[in-house]
Each structure stands twice: as structure tokens, then as C-alpha cells.
Amino acid sequence: MRHLLTLFDLTPSETRQILATGQRLCDLHTAGERPSILERRCIGLLFEKPSLRTRVSFEAGMVHLGGSSLFLGEDVGWGKRESPADFTHVLGQFLDAVVCRAKSHQRVEELAQFNALPVINGLTDLSHPCQSLADVLTIRQSFGDVTGRHVVFVGDGNNVARSMALACAMLDMRFTLACPSGYEIDQAWLDRIHQQYPNAKIERACDPRDAVRDADAIYTDVWTSMGQEAEREARRKIFCNFKVDQPLMKLAPKHAIVLHCLPAVRGEEIAAAVIDGPQSAVIRQAANRMHAQKGLLAWLLNRNWVEQNVPEY
């Protein structure tokens, strides 16, 4: 049984196949076609943090593909009413897969360990793999082949940055994190990346102005992630020189696109003129959450269709 807890669960070839499937389903969607390739399939969305994009993109995506989804909020009592084993085995009787957004990564690992149904990480403090699939799809649409493209992430070495660094390592892209001291991606994650992908090109910059000069994509995320609200004031001061604003964009190549996983705080990590400006790809990036995840769901639940309809990746 396959799970997607982090992108370490996929090979580069599998990731490329999922992305190509996502692009094929995106093209079909644009042409007004919604093939029923997951007819009568049902996934659960088990969320203990808020979400707009992840929830709605999975729900709408399942409907487009002929299936459906169930939103499982607090009332299902995950971790409260019964043992994790009973909870997960029962879910496995009803559902084809579960997407899980949890307060800790261990909670998602715990669900997956029973192999009762495929578990997809819909964001944890450690990682946000579905976001990275959509991000790479967005870069692929902008530049064709992603090989050698340089992603510069300005801000916190958080879940989104960690996943993107890994996605870049897997797909032969360069990744630079420009962050304040103490907010780098943790060494354990970097070591794991380098062990798996010895040629990974991952750098750290102290000054975003140096980092963006040869960027193809400039990526940022909020300074304060969900669960870190108590640090908000301190983080505002620590990150104040790590914002994607017009002076920074003047130093970047004209062809560089701007990415943000959203939700954004205009005036903090990104200026309104940049996120709403001509180089911004953020709305297409959000749209790609659905297309990439359709690719993932098709790959997990109807591999025959993928193999017959997406021959090249």
C-alpha cells in the first residue's frame, strides 16, 4: 500500500508520472472534459487545522473525476474516542484513501502505519507534499522542463520550504533558502535529502538580495505558520528583512515567477504590488493544487488509466 506522507515516499520517476498525469487532467479540464476515472470512489478529509485550498481542491477534484469525498472534522473524535488502530481500520472499510491535515506529523505517520488505506499528508508541521507537487507543476508550465531551474525561497525554513527543497533535489532543480539565522531547514531533513540525492543542489543565503539574482522562481510563505501564533510579534521583527517586495524583484531576472502557497499576509512576507503584479503565478499555483492532486489520486487509485493515457513523463 502506498502513502504520501512526504515526497520521500515517491521516486523521482513516480513524481514525474504524477505531475504528467496532473498536467493531462489539467489540459482535459481546460478543454471542458472531466473524465470519470474515479467513479464511485470516496476519500475522507481528516483535518484538525483550517484549510481553504487543500480541502476544496480535493473535494472538487474528486467530484470532477466522478467520485466523492467526506469532510471529517472534530466530531469524528480522531485520537479522542477510540484507539488509533480501531479508528484507522474502520476508516479503511469505507474509504479508498484519506487526506489528513494534522497538528503533528506523528499523527499522520500513526494513521499510515496500519496500512488500512492510503494516507495523503494534507499538511503537517514537517511537510506539505501536495503543495510541492502543485508548485513544481506551476514551474513546469512556465518553463517546460524543470531541470536546472533555480527556486529561491525567502523566509522561514518551514514545512513548505522543506518540501520544496526535497522536490528540487528529486527533480534536479536548484534550491536556495534565504532566511534569518536560526530559521534554516533542520539539518536532519537536509541530511536525509543528501543521503537520498547526493547531487542535490541546496544552498542557504543570508541575504535574499544575493539569492534572487539568478532565480527562476521566487517563493515565499507566511512568517508565522499555523500553531506558531504565540511567536507572531517576535517573528515580525526577525523576518523583517526577508520580504518579497519591489526592490527585491528589481534584482531578479524579468522572467522569474513569484510563488506563494497562500494564505498570504500582504505587507509582511510579500508586498501587494508583487503578489498582485505581473510576475505573480500564485492564482495559477493555487489552481494547480487541484490538478496535481487529481494526478496523485489517479496514480494511487486508477493506475491503469494513468498508464494508458499518460504514456510519457
Residues forming the site for ligand NVA (CB under 6 A) = 123, 158-160, 221-222, 225-226, 261
Does 119 sit near ligand CP (CB under 6 A)?
Answer: no
Report how far residue 302's alpha carbon sits from residue 290's, in angstroms, rounded to the nearest whole number: 17
Query: Least distance (Å) from ligand CP to the CB of residue 59?
Result: 11
Q: Is residue 261 annotated as part of the catalytic site, yes or no?
A: yes
Query: Which one among 15, 17, 51, 302 touches ligand CP, defined by CB under 6 A?
Result: 51
Does 264 sit near ligand CP (CB under 6 A)?
Answer: no
Cell numbers placing 153: 525561497
Give which of ligand CP, ligand NVA, none residue 17 binds (C-beta under 5 to 8 Å, depending on kind): none
Q: Residues with Cβ < 8 Å from 19, sequence gap 6 or more?
A: 133, 136, 137, 140, 292, 295, 313
Cα torsion for 196, 202, 206, 212, to the nearest 10°?
A: -150
Please give the distance of CA 88 from its chain centroid, rounded to a whole number: 24
Query: Which one among 52, 90, 273, 283 touches ligand CP, defined by CB under 6 A?
Result: 52
Q: Please count the residues of this chain forming the interface with ligand CP, following the rule CB under 6 A.
A: 8
Contact 290, 54 (CB under 8 A): no
Q: Is residue 131 annotated as part of the catalytic site, yes or no?
A: yes
Report how far residue 33's alpha carbon sits from residue 60's, in angstroms, rounded to the nearest whole number: 14
Q: Is residue 101 annotated as part of the catalytic site, yes or no?
A: yes
Report how far residue 204's alpha carbon sits from residue 211's, in angstroms, rounded to the nearest whole number: 9
Q: Going residue by residue from 211 to 240, which x/- string records binding to ligand CP, judged by CB under 6 A?
A: ------------------------------
Cβ proximity to ligand CP: between 261 and 271 the closer is: 261
Active site residues: 101, 128, 131, 221, 261, 289
Footprint of ligand CP (CB under 6 A): 51-54, 123, 131, 261-262
